[in-house]
Each structure stands twice: as structure tokens, then as C-alpha cells.
Amino acid sequence: MELAGKIIFWFYAVVIVAGGGLAVTSPNLVRAMLGLIATLFGVAGMYLLMNAPLLAFMQLLIYVGAVSVLIFFAIMLSRASATGDEGMEPGLWPNVRAFLAFALPMGVLGLTAFLAPPAGVLVPAEVDPAKLGQALLGEYTLPFELISIVLLAAMAGAVLIAFEKRGSK
């Protein structure tokens, strides 16, 4: 079973990286979104591999089912075409900045993983949703509430932006 696990891991890893590559390089925004969805699927597969089905299904439900569909809606409403501004080749500076934004976290994380590889870890036991809920409202109340404040701020911001546009017309 260990070999099967490794094969599946590498399969998902390839899906994630290939999807990410497509999302970054494709001049067509809808195809780029497809790459993003492939990546999200790969990550959900990784969660399943780590015996966290709740997280995996939530990932699919929220990111694939809702967020990516809303992104699609945004693409459709903005009528972005492959020959528009987004399809242009970016200059030198944007490329350098994008590379730095990619390389810095990747370098730190990659170096830590290579220098201090974790000893083999057993697959953790599956946590049932009830326990997860108790932990979120017990031990981890503060981070949980902080996240909800972030979401509230985002929502308030969205409403604000929408109102400003309506007023300026």
C-alpha cells in the first residue's frame, strides 16, 4: 500500500504543478481558471491522501463549486479576451517581481523541507466533523473568530465598493 500511496501522491503533485503552470502561462483567462481548478482538485486529493475527507470535500464544495464559478462570472462580465491587455507580454519588471514573489516563500519552505525533513509520519486518524466543530469552538475559538472578522471585513469592503460605483453614475 505504501507504493500505491506514493504513486497517488506524485500523481496529485503533478496535477497541482501542471494546473498552476497552466493558470500562470495561459493567455486565455478561462483556460487559466481551468488550470486553477485542476490545482484545487489536486490539493483536495492531497487532503484525501492525508485522511481528511471533510477538508477535501469542503475544498471542492467551496473552491470548485462556488469560488471558481464566481471567478468565471467575473471573467464573463469583464469580457476579457485573449487578445486584450491581459494577453500582452508583461515587461521585465512585472516578471522579476512575480519571480521574487514565487521564489521567496518557495525558497524558504523548500530549504526547510530539505534541511530538516520530518521523520516518517503515520497517516493520522480521521477526525469526525463533531470533534472538529468542538475544537473550533473550544480550543481554537480565537483563530476561528479572527477568520470570521476577516470575512466580515471583506464583505463590508465589497458592499462599500458596490455603493461607491452606484453613486458615481
Partner 1 sequence: MDVPFELVRIVIAILALAAFVGVNAVILVWVERKAAGFIQRRPGPYEVGPQGLLQTVADAAKLVGKQLFTPAGADPVLFWLAPLLAFLPIFVLLLPMPFGPTATGMEVNLGLLLILAFAGLNVLSLCLAGWGSNNKWSLLGAARAVSQAVAYEIPLLLSVLAIAFMSGGMDLSAIVREQGGWPWQWNLVLQPVAFIIYFVAAIAETNRAPFDLPEAESELTAGFHTEYSGMGFGLFFLAEYAEMIVVCGVAAALFLGGWRGPFGTDGWWWFLAKLYALLLSMIWFRWTYPRIRFDQLLVLNWKWLMPLAMINLLVTAFIMKL
Q: Tell me which residues touch partner 1 (CB under 8 A).
A: 28, 30-31, 34, 37, 53-54, 57-58, 60-61, 64-66, 68-70, 72-73, 76, 126, 128-130
- The residue type found at 91 is G
CB of 79 to partner 1, least distance (A): 10
Nearer to partner 1, 57 or 144 (CB): 57
CB of 27 to partner 1, least distance (A): 12
Contacts by 129-137 with C-beta closer than 8 Å and gap 24+?
129/54, 132/54
CB of 119 to partner 1, least distance (A): 28
d(CA 137, CA 131): 10
Maximum alpha-carbon separation in the chain = 63
Nearer to partner 1, 16 or 63 (CB): 63
CB of 131 to partner 1, least distance (A): 12
Dihedral over Cα of 121, 123, 50, 7: its sign: positive
Nearer to partner 1, 127 or 140 (CB): 127
* Cα within 13 Å of Cα(80), Cβ side: 18
